[in-house]
Structure 1
C-alpha cells in the first residue's frame, strides 16, 4: 500500500460546481459553489503522461493529486489562485480510498 506524500501536497485548492444562481434582478448568472477545500499537488502533465492521457481525452493539461475525498466527480471545477481547472477524470489510486488523481483541463485566461 502506497503512503500519501503529504509534504508534496503544498497548494491550497477549492473544488466545487459552477451553478446558475438567480440574482436579485431576476437574471441567472453562473457562480462557483464550493464543495471541498484541501491541500494538493498541482502539476502539468509531462510529455509521456500527456500522450497516455490523450488516448482517452485530447485536452488534458494538468494532474491534481489530493487525499481521498468522496463525492468528487468529473465536470466539477478546481479553483487554484486565479486559475480554473475542469475535472475530466477522477482516479481513486489503487482503489484504496487514500489518494486521488484528478486529470484536468485548464480553462479561461487564468
Structure 2
C-alpha cells in the first residue's frame, strides 16, 4: 500500500475510545475518555474486500489513513462530521511508523 501524498489527509476527524458503563436503568451509558483530533484520508474499500470481510463477520467499509498514532484498538471510533465509523483493524502502514491505517465499518452517515 502506498503512503498518502501531500494534501490527501484533508478530512478532519476525531478518534475516540468508547467505554460502555452500566446505567441506572439497566442499560449502558457511552463515555469517551480519550478524544483526539486528526487529519485523515478516508477511502471506501473495493467490493472484494467488503465481501470478504462480511464472510468473516468483521465488516470493513472504509480505510482511514492518519499520521502514526500508537494505542488505537477496536475499542475506538472515528467521527467525521455526522458519520460514525467503528475501528475493526489497525495497521502501521508498511511498518514505517509514519501512518496508521484504520480499517473501519461505517455505522451511520448522518441525515
TM-score bracket, shorter-length normalisation:
0.7 to 0.9
3-state DSSP class of the match of 1:7?
Answer: coil
Q: TM-score, normalised by structure 1?
A: 0.77
1:18-37 alignment to 2 at 5 Å? Answer: 18-20=18-20, 29-37=29-37
Q: TM-score, normalised by structure 2?
A: 0.77
Residue of structure 2 in register with 1:43 after alignment: 43
Structure 1 unpaired stretches of 5+: none
Give a deviation string over 1:26-77, Cα, whole Å, max 9, x none. 6763133443211001121122333455565541111101111111112211
Write the distance in 1 (CA, Å) between the matches of 2:3 and 2:61. 25
CA, structure 1 residues 96+58, in 2 after alignment: closer, same or farther (shift >3 Å)?
same
3-state DSSP class of the match of 1:69?
Answer: coil
Write the distance in 1 (CA, Å) between the matches of 2:50 and 2:20. 32
Contact kept? 1:9, 1:66, Cα under 8 Å: yes
1:54-93 alignment to 2 at 5 Å? Answer: 54=54, 57-93=57-93
Which range moves more in the overlay, 79-88 or 54-63? 54-63
Q: How many residues align?
A: 107
Write the distance in 1 (CA, Å) between the matches of 2:53 and 2:79. 22
TM-fit CA distance, 1:105: 0.6
